[in-house]
Chains A and B, each alone.
Chain A
Amino acid sequence: MNILIIEDEILIQRSLKLLLEKKKHFVDTASSGREALNLIPHKSYDRIVCDLMLQDITGFDVIEGSKKYYGPEEIKKKFVIITAYSSESALQKANNYGCPIIKKPFADIQQALEAITELPNE
């Protein structure tokens, strides 16, 4: 699948990309929200892995921004939120979008990778 990783920590970004590419996926990366919003309209991503705390805007802002291109159902299916930030309000908000949330650091890396690359049910 086509995957977009939005993460500002370079080491995480690169490692995730390599791990996913080993599983034969096509991975693009963005280090900031704005960069991501520039990439999204130009490619059809099956999955967007988005960190909440980005340098410029939050992950939620990215989701809002991509509403231009995706409907709510697609948002639910495409976005996977990863975050080290575990506040109640953040988790609540993510739930409102219907997206899965994976806490950083991954408790089980392989499991997390599977969740990211899970094929959406029709």
Chain B
Amino acid sequence: MENQSNSSLKKKYPPLRIFLDSFTCSKWKSLFPDSDDFLYSPEVALSQVAVHSDQSYLHFCWTAGENHNLKILPRQSNVHNILNLLRNSDLHTSGIHHLSEKSTRQKSLLKTVEKKLTENNLLKNFNKLEKLQLQLAKEDNISNLPHILLQQPFFKNYEAAQILLHEKGSKEAILIKTTPSHEEDIFITDTATFTRIFNSIKKSKFKQFDSKLFENCEKEFTQNFLGTYLAIDMNLSNHNLILMLSRNEFLSIQEDEKKQFISITSELKPIIESFINKASQKRKSQILEAAINLVPQGIEIACEKDNEIVFRNSYLQDNINDSQKQTINRIIKLENAKSLILYNKEDDFSDNPEIMHQQRIILLGELFNTLKHELSNPLFGIQLSLELLGEEEGFWQQFPEEKIMISDMKAGVKKCQTIIENFSRLYTPLDRHIEVDIRDLINEILILAKSEIKLINKDLLFCGFEHEEDFILMSNPTYLAQILFNLIINSAQAMKNKHFVSPIRPEIAILVTHCNNRIEIEINDNGPGISQLAQDKLFDPFFTTKKQGTGLGLSICKKLAKHLKGEINYQGVGPLEGASFLLSLPI
């Protein structure tokens, strides 16, 4: 019988469709780049083998037909174990429909894995790479990279390492060195120099260089980096990188050593890439912080959101004297987290959010008064005319429908007048306290907020109010309205970000309690709530979790509450398991 294994027709194994979860993906994918042998499936259902990892184990499953666990391995397993597993797998017969098919697939998987691993010495290096990856995960300082690489077992013959790094699109490149005496420093050079060196290395077949490569470069390149060295170019996603390793000797480097260098560096590429991305960001932040510390102003970071950092000038505090007020305020703009631009603004103190807000309220109040006046007169005219028209009893008897229309028109005008009246009660001069009926106030605010809270269930409960006079308190309706309006709008907007499954609907419950000479207004919602992180910064100015938020709302509310001799606090998730705020006022 012919020996089938010697057949000239080599059996072609179909590509294996593998699904990797995200952790496994980061480890395995670098070992098995997309090729004829491996196809990565975006979904478990489309794959033949699925690899999942949890805290401590790697799970291998055949996915065709029943989901069957091949075996569960400790996460830090090396490829040896995995290969063994594949060789010696016990297949449970129950639930497996096509046993023979499984065996064929198993063999196929095995063969491809073995082939891949032996091809590139990957098996040998897998453990070492893993260790390096773990080490780099804990490191975020870019200047330590050459040193760390030098310490790796596969580079134990080398004495010095240099890395030239250029962020794509940037105008400069950096040179990171490490010397035998472990002195590290970062030197900045220009893109032209970098590109020249990069291209030379790329073109070269043997990757061996000497000082000639640094002709026309600054002496920093050759300082403490002597002799012949190997250099490899790497095209990373956001950077171009050159890694140079030297023994500080002048002897030529052996062939197989060169080969090894090229092969190991290609394996290192993804590991280096993820580290560079991380460390590069860190470096930018460090530069930024240093820049901020050098600015001769009382500038501090107020908060960070998305890609912005907001600064606050600490000179804008409550107890500053007049001469300090003359200090020039600066507006700081961030550009790509790399450069800071300071604008001088002449003594424009109105950047203070609280003052801006006060001015806005005053302006709004004036505008409103004018509007009210302009609207009232024509409306009144219509009202009087309707009154007149309605008086012609004899005339309207012939037109009963039209008579009703006149009544309706009268009602419409009355409604307009009521709205104007209600709103005008919300704007009183800022420092005045007048009698406020808390029921009317809350109802007016609910009307004001109507468009935002249309689809939300509203509950209003009064508790502990025994007499009519209990509902009256001496306060400033403008401030009070502002605070409550703000809280309600916050709830409404937060609930837009939560998906409510019917029959559950977004809900706001307002509980007003009268006790101990205080009126307490609690605003509860069943929204997404407030994260632990945000809770501490809730009332800080400029803190916001909204994309378009100014972050001023709650901080202003806190100030207003203080003006009212009351206080506002976050109460936790509250009875509706969302967010709960309490405004407490003296009567």
Q: Are A19 and B373 interface neighbours, CB within 8 A?
A: no
- Report the minimal beta-carbon distance from A30 to chain B, rounded to whole angstroms: 16
Q: State which residues 2-19 of A face B: CB under 8 Å.
A: 9-12, 14-16, 18-19
Q: Are B387 and A84 in contact (CB under 8 A)?
A: no
B378 touches A9 (CB 8 A): yes
A53 within 8 A of B: yes
Report B-chain residues with C-beta under 8 Å of the C-beta of A24: none
Contact pattern, A 10-49, Cβ under 8 Å of B = 1, otherwise 0: 1110111011001000000000000000000000000000
Say yes or no: A12-B380 contact (C-beta < 8 A), given A53-B373, A84-B373, A85-B373: yes
Partner of B376, one of A10, A14, A22, A104: A104
Quick check: is B558 within 8 A (CB to CB) of the other chain?
A: no
Interchain pairs with CB closer than 8 A, number: 46
Shortest distance in angstroms between A90's beta carbon and chain B's nearest beta carbon? Answer: 12
Q: How far is the CB of B415 from chain A (nearest CB, A)?
A: 12
Known: A105-B379, A105-B417. A15 touches B384 (CB 8 A): yes
The answer to whether the Cβ of B125 comes within 8 Å of any Cβ in the partner chain is no
* Residues 69 to 122 of chain A near chain B (Cβ within 8 Å): 84-85, 104-106, 109
B380 contact set on A, CB distance < 8 A = 9, 12, 84, 104-106
Q: By DSSP majority rule, is chain B's interface helix, strand, loop, or mixed?
A: helix
Residues from chain B with a CB closer than 8 A to the CB of A84 are 372-373, 376-377, 380
Q: Contacts A22-B391, A105-B417; is A16 near B384 (CB within 8 Å)?
A: yes
Instruction: Using CB atoms, name the residue of chain A closest to B376.
Output: A84
User: What per-residue 1/0 map shows which CB atoms of B374-411 lie under 8 Å from chain A?
Assistant: 00111111111101100100000000000000000000
Q: A37 to B14: give the CA distance in the assembly, Å.
A: 106
Chain A residues with Cβ below 8 Å from B378 are 9, 11
List the B residue with the shortest CB-CB distance to A13: B381
Q: CA of A10 to CA of B376 in the docked complex: distance in angstroms?
A: 13
List chain B residues, Cβ under 8 A from A19. 384, 387-388
- Place the interface of chain B in its size category: 10 to 19
Which residues of chain B have C-beta atoms less than 8 A from A85's C-beta? Answer: 373
Instruction: Report the separation of the CA atoms of residues A9 and B387 in the bound assembly, to the nearest whole angstrom.
Output: 16
Dominant SS at the A interface? helix
Q: How many residues of A contact B (CB 8 A)?
A: 17
Closest to B380 in A: A105
A62 to B579, CA, bound (A): 58
Q: Given A84-B372, A105-B417, does the pair A12, B387 have CB atoms closer than 8 Å?
A: no
Chain A residues with CB under 8 A of B388: 15, 18-19
B381 touches A12 (CB 8 A): yes
Contact in complex: B381, A15 (CB < 8 Å): yes
CA distance A109 to B389 in the complex (A): 14
Given A105-B383, A105-B417, is A12 in contact with B377 using a C-beta cutoff of 8 Å?
A: yes
Measured CA separation A43–B383 after assembly (Å): 30
Task: Kindly report which residue of chain A lies nearest to residue B384, judged by CB atoms.
Answer: A15
Q: Which residues of B contact A104 (CB under 8 A)?
A: 376-377, 380
B contact residues around A14 at 8 Å (CB):
385
> Which residues of chain B come closer than 8 Å to A16, judged between CB atoms?
384
Q: Mark B177-198, 1 if CB is under 8 A from A, else 0.
A: 0000000000000000000000
Contact of B381 with A11 in the complex, beta carbons under 8 Å: yes
Residues of A within 8 A of B379 (CB): 105
Residue of B nearest to A88 (CB): B429
**A16 to B381 CA separation, bound complex (whole angstroms):** 9
Residue of B381, B382, B387 ringed by the most chain A CB atoms within 10 A:
B381
In the complex, A16 Cα to B387 Cα: how many Å?
Answer: 10
A17 → B minimal CB distance (Å): 10
Pull 20 A–B residue pairs with CB atoms less than 8 Å apart, ordered by A: A9-B378, A9-B380, A9-B381, A10-B381, A11-B381, A11-B384, A11-B385, A12-B384, A15-B381, A15-B384, A15-B385, A18-B388, A19-B384, A19-B387, A84-B372, A84-B376, A85-B373, A105-B379, A105-B380, A106-B383
Question: Which residues in B have some Cβ–Cβ distance to A below 8 Å?
Answer: 372-373, 376-385, 387-388, 391, 417
Interface residues, chain A, with chain B CB atoms under 8 Å away: 9-12, 14-16, 18-19, 22, 53, 84-85, 104-106, 109
Given contact pairs A11-B381, A22-B391, enumerate 5 new A-B contacts (beta carbons under 8 Å): A12-B384, A14-B385, A84-B373, A104-B380, A106-B383
Closest 4 CB pairs between A and B?
A11-B381, A15-B384, A105-B380, A84-B376
